[in-house]
Structure 1
Amino acid sequence: MAATTNVKSEEKGIDLKEVCDYKLAKDNELRFEVETGARVKLDLIDGSAELFGTELVRSRSYIFESGAKIAVFTWFGCSLRLTGKVEAAYVSKDTPMVIYLNTHAAIEQMRKVSEQKDTLGPRILVCGPQDVGKSTVGRLLINYAVRLGRKPTLIDLDVGQGGVSIPGTVGALTVERPADPVDGFDLKVPLVYHFGHTSPNGNIKLYEVLISRLADVFNAKCDFNKQVKHSGCIVNTCGWVKGQGYQCILHTAQSFEADVVLVLDSERLYNDLKRDLPDFVNVILQPKSPGVVERTREMRRDAREEKTKEYFYGPRKIYFPHAFDISFSEVQIFKIGAPALPDSCLPLGMEKEDTQTKLVPVAPGIDLVHHILSLSMAESLEENLVETNVAGFVVVTNVDPERQVFSVLSPAPRPLPRNYFLIMDLRFIDIHK
């Protein structure tokens, strides 16, 4: 009885009268977009299919929320059923999946050589302009590797969307099982660093420092764990590919000692990287999937909002975050990066870019409301807060100067494990109160 009730609650918001069956031939793909404000249920009726490298099972219904853009691929043919309102749904045989599978096979061959010689596994950089499917290709390559028993590490440098944590962060996640088709990778134990902005140009120097830090930590883990070492990593970059953004890609390739750079849908970027990277780096130009949808600025902002909301409330709002007060005297709040000063005002020997990684104390005030704060794992100020990973995040919901406290929304209850907060430019207005 309990199971029946659960299924009915899962189907809430799905228009059960809207049912459409699709029969896919081999190497075909069903692409669909969920209508705004609607939910859609996907069922595998017959055959075999996968979603971004994760196999679908017949015993489960997959429910996708408003605005989701999904592509279900089959190697051998299948029957699928969609229930609910979709904005668009069509079957296509124009797909680069065979190219992506061949890429995976070549990477797997590199892993086998790495095992035999006990050398570093393949380090793959995925780059390209915005909206070419970089994170999708990264997820697909990770899933295929995990299905072969590998433990690849996903390095996420896309601060605009946040694949490992919330937007405004960079992070790493060693993956041991395929991503859930609906909820994505299991994010219980990611390594996350505070950046505080949704674009690298918010603080270029800090962005490069964090890239180097992540590379050092990953190398240390490779020294400690042979399986992680041989499995290698997939590095997902952001879509800024010109000027300083291009320099960040070069810095990333150098920091992680990339073997392979996959360039999606940009001949110019491909040729620039072929020219500027060492000869031993294999730069490969690959097509984007025709199913990739371009996103407007508003869509990106909504996606960031949704990702942050999911951190506090869980997927499908299954969690209830904690609300409590924190005394001003209990913690210290810092911002990374001081305003740039003219050269004539700088202390002797100090360079202008040094200010970009400087810790600036922030006094709690009304303007703190709705800001997201990262809780640093640093135990004292003698540690480098800039390069220390974070335990998690809170959002400030109110500041009371008279009582000298500020109220926060937190995924975990008191007490706080540490005492140092780093403030983000990002804001989150909690409308669930």
Structure 2
Amino acid sequence: MASTGVDVTRSNEDEDGLVEQRIKARAVASLPGKEYKLEAETELRIEVRSVSDAKVILLQGKAEIFGCELVSDKVVDMRKRTTCAVFTWHGCTIKIIPESVYAYVSDKTPMQFYVNLHEALEQRRCKAVENNTDGPVTMVIGPTDVGKSTLCRLLLNYAVRLGRLPTFIDLDVGQGIVSIPGTIGALHINRTITVSDGLDDYPSLVFHYGSNTPSTNVKLYMTLVSRLADSLRKYWANLPSRCHNGCIINTCGWITDVGYKIIVDAAETFKVDQIIVLDNERLYNDLMIHFGSNAEIVLAPKSGGVIERAQSTRANARALRIKTYFYGDDNSGYTPHVYELAFSDIQIFKVGGPNLPTSCLPLGMKPEDAALKLINVVPEKSLIHRILAVSAALSTDEDIVQTAVIGFVCVYDVDVNRKILKVLSPSPGALPRHILILSDLSFYDIPS
């Protein structure tokens, strides 16, 4: 077996916390469950299908989930309707609780291919440090449900385990990894990403798009992608050491027609030097022709454990992502807050006007101009359940469309007579800004 190039030394943990975790794990391990013995270079694929959560415990050996090393006798919580794969290079024993959780062992895994990708990226990071140049900029693309975000997470985790601080850029407005669906954003990864914690507590740079597909407003989407790229370049220019670490870019699953053009434009905007194509030879060949020697194009296999989701399942995942933003996960105990905002204290806008033929537009206005037009929204009952992004802009003199957002609220009720907007917020107190941007997304699970 080739070396993974990953330092598997455990990170320093607080001793008291580690003791408490192991006591908890031993108590959980005594519960009824099922043990799986994995041979070297095999993986245990787990699907939590039921409405209940599951627990995974490493009893013996060494193993990892998406590049994050498991700690012996530490419980890993898996939420309902989620999947993961526990991989081992040298063999291990895993226990899953409850026994009813669906799981199976497979030796057909692309992990050796993926770790080779990591080693190539690490070599380029070393050269970037040596020559004081930018690190690798890698984009992962492919159809929906081929494991793009999983591969991104794995490459990020392997980089962190070697002491790197890579940047993760999420351009998938349908999934919402960095923030909620309907946004794009970036964050710097300084620790391994666990199955339980995800990325919710990382400081991030987020731009509001407002829909779960780029096709709703292609002009706005590409404008925000360009704005995000410019913001990151300015940040890296002030912190040269950050640029050596490179970045990993996740993308949407729309890869045909206009979707293909969006991918190419985004790759050129971020000056990508490597594109990993998952499970699509035609896309791989098209990109080889387009980029030539300007970028390395790699065709990578998808994992056999990847599950294709129905549209309803994806919609439920989006709803759960938004719910997690307001309520946290099942173990966090977050309590959202409901409070009132006077109409006079806020301004609500929507980005993008209706698609009209050129003949119906004002003199000198182009159809693409309407896509970025800021439209004032009058508060009314139709806003109930809609998501509002809180803009970082201090006044309407700023470019609100291209200004980052600092959070979200959900409209709980609208009292037109009292001119009061009641909103659900993850934190108490007054809003830090008064300019709000209307999203197409809604959230219905709010307290009565």
The TM tier, using the shorter chain, reads over 0.9
How far did residue 99 of structure 1 move?
A: 0.3
The residue that corresponds to 2:349 in the other structure is: 334
The residue that corresponds to 1:62 in the other structure is: 76
Q: Is 1:53 aligned with 2:67?
A: yes
Counterparts of residues 211-290 of structure 1 (less than 5 Å)? 211-290=225-304
Q: Distance in 2 between matches of 1:87 and 1:93?
A: 20
* 2:57 partner SS: strand
Question: TM-score under structure 1 normalisation?
Answer: 0.95
The residue that corresponds to 1:395 in the other structure is: 410
Q: Distance in 1 between matches of 2:30 and 2:426?
A: 32
How far did residue 368 of structure 1 move?
A: 0.3
> CA, structure 1 residues 212+384, in 2 after alignment: closer, same or farther (shift >3 Å)?
same
Counterparts of residues 24-423 of structure 1 (less than 5 Å)? 24-185=38-199, 187-316=201-330, 317-423=332-438
- Render the CA deviation track for 1:161-219: whole Å, top value 9, x for unaligned: 10100000000011111102312135331111100000000110010001101111111
- Aligned letter for 1:393? F
The residue that corresponds to 2:12 in the other structure is: none
> CA, structure 1 residues 193+432, in 2 after alignment: closer, same or farther (shift >3 Å)?
same
CA contact (8 A) 2:59 2:73 kept: no
CA contact (8 A) 1:164 1:170 kept: yes
- Render the CA deviation track for 1:363-415: whole Å, top value 9, x for unaligned: 00000000000000001111111111101000001111111001111012222
Q: Distance in 2 between matches of 1:340 and 1:314?
A: 38
Q: Distance in 2 between matches of 1:416 and 1:38?
A: 36
How far did residue 16 of structure 1 move?
A: 4.2
Consecutive unaligned residues of structure 2, counting only runs of 5 or more, are 1-16
Q: Distance in 1 between matches of 2:130 and 2:361?
A: 54
CA contact (8 A) 1:150 1:227 kept: no
Consecutive unaligned residues of structure 1, counting only runs of 5 or more, are none
How far did residue 416 of structure 1 move?
A: 1.1
CA contact (8 A) 1:338 1:360 kept: yes
CA contact (8 A) 1:42 1:61 kept: yes
* 2:293 partner SS: coil
- Aligned letter for 1:410? S
- Render the CA deviation track for 1:31-61: whole Å, top value 9, x for unaligned: 0111321221111000000000100001311
How far did residue 278 of structure 1 move?
A: 4.2
CA contact (8 A) 1:274 1:283 kept: yes
How far did residue 346 of structure 1 move?
A: 2.0
- Aligned letter for 1:102? N
CA contact (8 A) 1:164 1:187 kept: no
Q: How many residues align?
A: 427
Runs of 4+ in 1 over 6 A off after TM superposition: none
Q: Distance in 2 between matches of 1:412 and 1:82?
A: 35
